[in-house]
Amino acid sequence: MMMPSGAIDKSISHILGGLMFSGLGLWHLFNHIRLFVSLPSTSSSSYVAPAWFPAPRVRHLELIVMLAGGVYGFATQMLAYSPMPFNADGSIPPERLPNHEHAIMYASLLVYAGSAIYLDRHRHRHRHTTLCMLLLAAVFAQELFVFHVHSTDHAGVEGRLHWFLQAAAATCLSTALLGAAGGGGGLPAEVQFAVSLVRSASLAFQGLWGVVIGVVWIPGMAPKGCFLDDGGVNLRCHGEDSLHHAVAVVNLQFGWCFVLVTVLVLGVYVYVCKMYTAGDGEVYGRLPEEEAGDEDDHHHDMKTRNCKLAVHDVHEFMSMEIDV
């Protein structure tokens, strides 16, 4: 059965975007847990959760993926259906308004990723953690705005799907703001970790829910009694009974996705703790760059017995960093 063009666009955009967000959420989840379990007990007051993590060999891989995803999403939304996103008089065609709304989200993602790379290439990069977290919060705020606008335009099953997407985006936004507030070391390590854990899990959940929405637009995957209409753009149901049944199915999907993400977080935590057992690996702290001249007197390697938090003498480290 051939998919309508509208259904193809909706399905692919939601699934690809969802996979990217889920991947980023899992990447953050793994690294936040690794950073926390490797934290020496003497540094609990100076722990600062970063907004992004460097990758092996390619330091800015995470941000490059965001840039690539932002460029692809922005281009596909602005060039969807035709290479001209505007009319001859400069106005926006009514049928293209949703595409322009989606493009706003991708533009925010481009601003965040590009700014994070620029700030990291300058000295005193440790001072930019709070600003990067605020820029990340701006991305989630833009998402929440667009999702809310879409939810007011949609009713029934589509409205319920977007309402749950709003909940995930709102959680990401609130935890990003909390992370920015604690960027100066104002929050205890346990609180910083809890905020980072919830933000990472919410990001992974948001991506998973995006995949769920994309699957609904595949012919034959809609809830029983519902069908794709208007060229595959809208999801409609036959009568009130079918609508109530479809909404109940969406509620169940949300609940099971929540359970799945919870189990996944627990599994990743246990895996990281086993992976970084006592005596495995080393975690290095580093003084801020302006104090690099005193490195011989104050900077030394520290070997952490992860999970058990047994450490040797460690003093005067301002924040934990992962260097690759």
Q: Tens digit of pLDDT for each residue in 38-67?
A: 776 555 555 678 899 999 889 999 999 999
Q: What is the pLDDT of residue 121?
A: 87
- Indicate whether 318 pLDDT > 50: no
Alpha carbons 187 and 195: distance in angstroms, whole number: 10
Residue 103 pLDDT > 80, yes or no?
yes
Q: Region 163-173: what's the mean pLDDT?
A: 93
**Residues 3-44: pLDDT tens digits?**
655 567 778 888 988 999 999 999 999 999 988 887 765 555
Q: Which residue has the tokens 């003093």?
A: 315
pLDDT at 61: 94
- Using the predicted structure, report yes or no on whether residue 72 has a pLDDT greater than 50: yes
Backbone angles phi and psi of 245, in degrees to 5: -65, -45
Q: In which element (H, E) is residue 46 found?
A: none
* Confidence at residue 130, expressed as pLDDT on a 0 to 100 scale: 85
Q: How many CB atoms lie within 10 A of CB 77?
A: 22
Under the banding of pLDDT at 50, 70 and 90, the label for residue 82 is: low
| Mean pLDDT, residues 267-287 taken together | 63
Give the pLDDT score at 123: 65
Q: Which residue has the higher pLDDT, 125 or 238?
A: 238
Comparison of pLDDT for 180 and 172, the residue scoring more = 172
**What average pLDDT does range 107-116 have in this prediction?**
94
Tokens encoding 54: 């460097």
Cβ atoms 14, 210 nearer than 8 A: yes
The pLDDT, as a whole number, for residue 2 is 56
Q: Which two tokens stand for residue 126?
A: 């440790």
Burial class (CB in 10 A: 0-12, 13-18, 19+), 296: exposed
Distance CA 166, CA 244 (A): 21
Q: Which residue did the predictor score with more confidence, 155 or 147?
A: 147
Backbone angles phi, psi at 187, to 5 degrees: -110, 145
Most confident of 11-25, 121-135, 294-308: 11-25
Q: For residue 61, count CB atoms less than 10 angstroms from its CB and return exposed for 0-12, middle for 13-18, buried for 19 or more.
A: middle
| pTM to 2 decimal places | 0.79
pLDDT at 170 over 60: yes
Tell me which of 311 and 189 has the higher pLDDT.
189
Q: Which amino acid is at 162?
A: H
Q: Does the pLDDT of residue 80 top 60, yes or no?
A: yes
Q: Is the pLDDT of residue 295 over 70?
A: no
pLDDT bucket at 256, cuts 50 / 70 / 90: very high
pLDDT at 301: 41
Long-range contacts of 245-254 (CB under 8 A, 24+ apart): 246/156, 246/157, 246/222, 247/156, 247/157, 247/160, 249/223, 249/224, 250/157, 250/160, 250/161, 250/164, 250/223, 251/160, 253/212, 254/164, 254/209
Q: How confident is the model at residue 280 (pLDDT cuts 50, 70, 90)?
A: very low
pLDDT at 320 over 80: no
Confidence of residue 224 (pLDDT cuts 50, 70, 90): confident
Query: Which pLDDT value is given to residue 310?
Result: 37
What's the pLDDT score for residue 158? Answer: 85
**Cα–Cα distance between 53 and 26 in angstroms, integer?**
12
Shortest CA distance to 44 belongs to which of 193, 201, 179, 176? 193
The Cα–Cα gap between 55 and 57 comes to 6
Angle between helix 97-120 and helix 61-78 axes, rounded to 10 deg: 160
Q: Are 219 and 7 in contact (CB under 8 A)?
A: yes
pLDDT at 36: 84
What is the three-class DSSP state of 310? Answer: strand
Measure the CA–CA gap between 297 and 75, rounded to whole angstroms. Answer: 53
Let me know the angle formed at the C-alpha of 229 by 226 and 231, rounded to the nearest 5 degrees: 145
DSSP 8-class letter at 306: T
> 122 φ, ψ to 5°?
-100, 165
Separation between Cα atoms, residue 287 and residue 299, nearest integer Å: 7
Query: For residue 112, what pLDDT band results from cuts at 50, 70 and 90?
Result: very high
